[in-house]
Structure 1
Amino acid sequence: MAHVLVLGGGFGGLAAAHELRRRLPRGDEVTVVAMSDKFFVGFAKLWDLAGLRPLLDGTRPLERLANRGINFVQAEITGIDPAGHTVETTAGTLTGDGMIVALGATYRPANSALLGDGAFNLYHAAALPGIHAALEEMTEGRVLISIMGAPYLCPPAPFEATLLLEERLRKEGRRDRIDVTVSTPAPLTLPVAGPDASRYLADQLVERGITVLTEHHVESIDHAAGVVRFDRGRTVECDLLLAVPAAAPPPVIAASRLAGADGWIEPNKRTFATSAARVYAVGDCTLIRTATAQLPKAGVFAEAAGRIAATNLAADLYGGVRLTFDGYGFCFLELPGQQVATVTGDFYAKPRPDVRLTPPDTASFAAKQQWEQDRLTDWLD
């Protein structure tokens, strides 16, 4: 009887756990270990921010995994021994016959240290009440949405948040007194999607009177004065800062033997196998290099990788089919008016990713809603 450990309860971990449960014999055990006891789709935070739907409505408890024959242990992972398929956790030591690491990413400490006093982490669900309170108090001034570094999670999200927030302020009759500005250190809004999609997104922002600052690297924040200082001596005054810190590997990953030179796990880009036997790594804790940059850190890719890794680990244990990832994927790009565009294509293509932007429509928004519901239902309802 085999026991497989899945480290992480996000997209990659849940996709892997369910695929393992489907492929392994009934008597085998699948155990998910995660620090949080809840799951939600990341873009649901933006719907909460925009006043479209509370985050709680799209949140499910991971204890429901038991209904699908999957063990759940809520604990912090403090050590990983890939050779022994063993993890140290705050709930004790766990050992398996194989392992899928899907621990996600954290935030660059230097970026996080700059936040506080009117400067919130846009991606942190726990920050939503504070953001709402600050927004409700604003009658005039400037909201600045600022990407602090790269890579960062879910490349379209900061711009989606900017557009949805602008729409909210307009509906509430405050837009003419509140400026909305978005900044990025990159030369384009969406480098991973290419110049055409980036130009389209920039046009959408500018058409709504949003100031777009490219090649702006945050250096410091003067909270008392409400000033964000960028490189080359540039400054922007703001009354509310919604920041997107650069992603960083979790310390337990960076300290493990799985980590590469940059602290991320760099598995095989097709199979997601690591250098350790029967150990796979998927999702935001990995660095998957492409022709021009790296595979986006997004749930769509983590889910696909999780299923492939689980299939291959099952084959390691019992033989059978093996799968490889072809580089194809997509990202939602939500626009005002409940419309969604998609960026779709081959992210592994050479000499650069071959992706295209599909124009927005309400049908794609409905498809995005259904995409979320399918995962909540299939995994945790």
Structure 2
Amino acid sequence: MARVLVLGGGFGGLAAAHKLIGAKTPDLEVILFDQEEVFTVGFRKTWTLLGIDPEPGNGRRSNLEKKGIRRVHGRITSIEPQRKVVEANGEQFEGDFLVIALGVELAPELIGGLKEHALSVYDRRSLPRAAQALRQFQGGKIVVGIFGNPYQCPPAPYEIALLVNEQLRNRQVNAELTVFTPLPMSLPILGSAGCSVIEDRLADAGIKFLASHTAVNVEANKVVFSNGTHLDFDLLLGIAPHRAPEVVRSCGLTEGGDWVPVDTQTLETRYPGVFAIGDVNLVKMANGKPLPKAGVFAEGQGKVVAQRILETLAGNQPAAIFEGIGGCFLEIDSQNAAKIEGHFLAIPEPQVLLTDASPKLLEEKRQFEKDRLTGWLK
């Protein structure tokens, strides 16, 4: 019997596990490891923060068992990529293939004072506190801060700023909003023309935008930048630095860095039969920049890796490759969304554009969530 160990039950892990089990290959066991029972689509954080979509938007990973996917509910304490051995809940599991899909670890401790003075909008457990602070906000300065790069869902900080601004105006709360990023423009993948569209929309909403601002410290009501300037705030909505989880970094897969290097097309690590997919990996585009960390890419990578494993088990030379085609949504107000989409791994450079915003795309975003929850966890 062949055994595939899938580490992580997010977009990548769920997509890989379902494709593997859906092939109905004889004598194939798929084991998925995850320490969280509830799965939530990442972009729902904005809706939770603002309380604008009360419809339940999560699924239970325990439902995977009904589909033939064995699930281990618990924390992974060690990974041995050479042997394809994983330890969880005090038990060791050995596989023929290993799929690392453990996402990111938020690391606010890398910025002094960030954990103490900011409200995390990327941590599901911290979102209720951030949402409460926003509901109780009576006026003053709000800062949406990007404290590291790369980070998940690159448009989200701008979406948050626009929707927070709209909601506060509707409540007739006098607020001054600022968004800052360490990057030279809002979303460099779009180029200067696409970024101008986003930055002009921020300006039209009265939101100040600060590019090339690298935060080095956070004090009570003040963010300090590497250029010696600072930014005052009454409420700081922070996106903490990201990195691969400790269990991944400590086993050598990141090769001393923050992410797992993989082959751009096959997603295989330097260890044969060991793949890393989704936010945990480092896939470089033709311009040398990292592929954006978005659920749609994790899903696509999961399907490619699963197909390569199935082809190998069938005795064939694996042919499936990851092409980097996809996109993510950017809500610009409560009624409309735009989409950033294209061929991110195109050569000689990424071919990516920002669409016009429309109600149709907002509905497409909501349907995207429903389709995944229904297909994977119902």
TM-score (norm 1): 0.94
Identify the match of residue 250 of structure 1 among 238, 245, 254: 245
Q: How much is the aligned-residue C-alpha RMSD, in angstroms?
A: 1.6
How far apart in 2 are the matches of 1:328 and 1:337? 27
Deviation of 1:34 (Å): 1.0
Write out per-residue CA displacement over residues 98-134 of structure 1, whole angstroms, 9 at most, x where no aligned residue. Answer: 1111011112354465334441111011111211221
Equivalent position of 1:240 in the other structure: 235
Deviation of 1:298 (Å): 0.7
Equivalent position of 2:305 in the other structure: 309
Residue 43, structure 1, aligned to residue 58, structure 2: no
Equivalent position of 2:254 in the other structure: 259
Deviant stretches of 4+, over 4 Å: none
Equivalent position of 2:334 in the other structure: 337
**Structure 1 letter corresponding to 2:205:** R
Residue 368, structure 1, aligned to residue 372, structure 2: no
Aligned-residue sequence identity (percent) comes to 38
Write out per-residue CA displacement over residues 42-101 of structure 1, whole angstroms, 9 at most, x where no aligned residue. Answer: 1111011122124x8111111011111111111111211122221012342111221111
Task: Map 1:86-165 onto structure 2 (within 5 A).
Answer: 86-111=85-110, 114-165=113-164
Deviation of 1:26 (Å): 5.0
Provide closer, same or farther for how the CA distance between residues 89 and 349 of structure 1 changes in structure 2, counting only shifts above 3 A: same
Please identify, of 197-206 and 273-282, the stretch whose mean Cα deviation from structure 2 is larger.
273-282
How far apart in 2 are the matches of 1:253 and 1:79? 8
**Structure 2 letter corresponding to 1:89:** A
Q: Is the 8 A contact 2:7 2:34 kept in 1?
A: yes
How far apart in 2 are the matches of 1:17 and 1:127? 29
**Structure 2 letter corresponding to 1:238:** F
**Structure 1 letter corresponding to 2:131:** H
How far apart in 2 are the matches of 1:221 and 1:114? 5
Deviation of 1:231 (Å): 2.0
Identify the match of residue 195 of structure 2 among 193, 198, 201: 198
Deviation of 1:263 (Å): 3.8
Equivalent position of 2:14 in the other structure: 14
3-state DSSP class of the match of 1:65?
A: helix
Equivalent position of 2:169 in the other structure: 170
Please identify, of 302-311 and 313-322, the stretch whose mean Cα deviation from structure 2 is larger.
313-322
3-state DSSP class of the match of 1:66?
A: helix
TM-score (norm 2): 0.95
Unaligned runs of 5+ in 2: none
How far apart in 2 are the matches of 1:103 and 1:190? 25
How far apart in 1 are the matches of 2:321 and 2:160? 33
Write out per-residue CA displacement over residues 15-38 of structure 1, whole angstroms, 9 at most, x where no aligned residue. Answer: 000011012425422111012121
Residue 281, structure 1, aligned to residue 280, structure 2: no
Deviation of 1:350 (Å): 3.2
Deviation of 1:236 (Å): 1.3
3-state DSSP class of the match of 1:220?
A: strand
**Structure 1 letter corresponding to 2:83:** G
Aligned length, in residue pairs: 376
